[in-house]
């Protein structure tokens, strides 16, 4: 497993954030997704939030119609999203917690607290062939509950690790390492995402169980300066260098 290339899912939400700042159609997140695909993205991630602050329904429809790599549809576990996602049938969905007032997804999903609701919800997604990921903190009990619920994979929240400094960051990295290791032991596919940038990605790539990273905000910001293709190439190089160190 350690020799495997880590897949890169490119999150294009913030292209839509810039578009929505003025209304209209420019810049188009679907154009960014096609560019990312050409530059070697293994998948495209987009989050249809309840308040539609960035990605809107039409973006999801056009992503499904135009991209060739798998679409990872991020969403809250609501009835409205269930109707949309089961109609569009993307390759995978990632269930995230969502609060209207937050700036971004601030913590992992409470799988234990929402166990009964999630059980039926996950099954409905799986029934139409959508693979299900749960975005959770690197907590053994949350991972165990995700596995029991029949999630196909979990995405461990890397935000606390990326936001911390010094010893606190090292401690968060150990939490991620222990969580990913536990996923490996119980046979649960494990991804990582949130807040990753050039500085933080290498150490996470050294954790052998991670098979995919989903990265958005930093790459979209960097793309303003050097372009999306160059940004994806640099991110991939750093992921590869990190992974090479865990042989």
**Interface with ligand PXP by CB under 6 A: which residues?**
11, 13, 47, 74, 94, 96, 104-105, 135, 155, 193-196, 214-218
Residue 140's H or E segment, with its range, is helix 140-148
Give 43 or 193: the residue with its C-beta nearer to ligand PXP: 193
Residue 74 catalytic? Answer: yes
Give 44 or 145: the residue with its C-beta nearer to ligand PXP: 44
Residue 14 catalytic? Answer: no
Q: How far apart are CA 134 and CA 145, in angstroms?
A: 10
Minimum distance, C-beta of residue 72 to ligand PXP, in the bound complex (Å) = 9
Q: What is the dihedral of CA 53, 229, 199, 163, to 10 degrees?
A: 0
Catalytic residue among 74, 209, 212, 222: 74
Give 94 or 138: the residue with its C-beta nearer to ligand PXP: 94
Determine how many CB atoms are found less than 10 A away from the CB of residue 164: 15
Catalytic residue among 47, 54, 147, 157: 47
Q: Are 8 and 40 in contact (CB under 8 A)?
A: yes
Residue 26 catalytic? Answer: no
Catalytic residue among 194, 209, 212, 222: 194
Minimum distance, C-beta of residue 66 to ligand PXP, in the bound complex (Å) = 21
Residue 191's H or E segment, with its range, is strand 189-193
Which pair of tokens denotes residue 165? 């400094």
DSSP for 15-84? HHHHHHHH-SS-S-HHHHHHHHHHTT-SEEEEE--TT-SS--HHHHHHHHHH-SSPEEEEE-S-HHHHHH
Query: What is the three-class DSSP state of 136?
Result: strand
Q: Are 80 and 48 in contact (CB under 8 A)?
A: no
DSSP for 125-168? HHHTT-EEEEEE-S-HHHHHHHHHTT-SEEEEE-HHHHH--HHH
Minimum distance, C-beta of residue 234 to ligand PXP, in the bound complex (Å) = 15
Minimum distance, C-beta of residue 247 to ligand PXP, in the bound complex (Å) = 26
Active site positions, annotated: 47, 74, 194
């Amino acid at each position: 497993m350690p020799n495997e290339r880590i897949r890169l899912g490119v999150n294009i939400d913030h292209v839509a954030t810039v578009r929505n700042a003025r209304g209209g159609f420019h810049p188009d997140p679907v154009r960014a997704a096609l560019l990312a695909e050409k530059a070697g993205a293994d998948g495209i991630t987009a989050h249809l939030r309840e308040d539609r602050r960035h990605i809107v329904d039409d973006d999801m429809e056009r992503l499904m119609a135009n991209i060739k790599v798998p679409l990872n549809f991020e969403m809250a576990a609501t009835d409205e999203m269930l109707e949309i996602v089961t109609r569009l049938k993307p390759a995978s969905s990632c269930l995230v917690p969502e609060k209207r007032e937050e700036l971004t997804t601030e913590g992992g999903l409470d799988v234990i607290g929402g166990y009964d609701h999630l059980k039926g919800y996950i099954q409905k997604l799986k029934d139409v062939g959508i693979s299900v990921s749960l975005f959770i903190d690197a907590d053994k009990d949350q991972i165990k509950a995700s596995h029991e619920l029949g999630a196909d994979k979990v995405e461990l929240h890397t935000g606390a690790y990326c936001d911390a400094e010094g010893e606190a960051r090292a401690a968060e990295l150990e939490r991620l390492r222990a969580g990913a290791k536990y996923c490996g032991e119980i046979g649960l596919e494990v991804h990582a995402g949130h807040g990753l940038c050039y500085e933080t990605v290498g150490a996470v790539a050294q954790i052998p169980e991670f098979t995919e990273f989903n990265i958005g905000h930093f790459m979209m910001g960097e793309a303003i300066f050097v372009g999306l293709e160059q940004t994806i190439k640099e991110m991939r190089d750093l992921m590869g260098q990190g992974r090479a160190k865990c042989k």
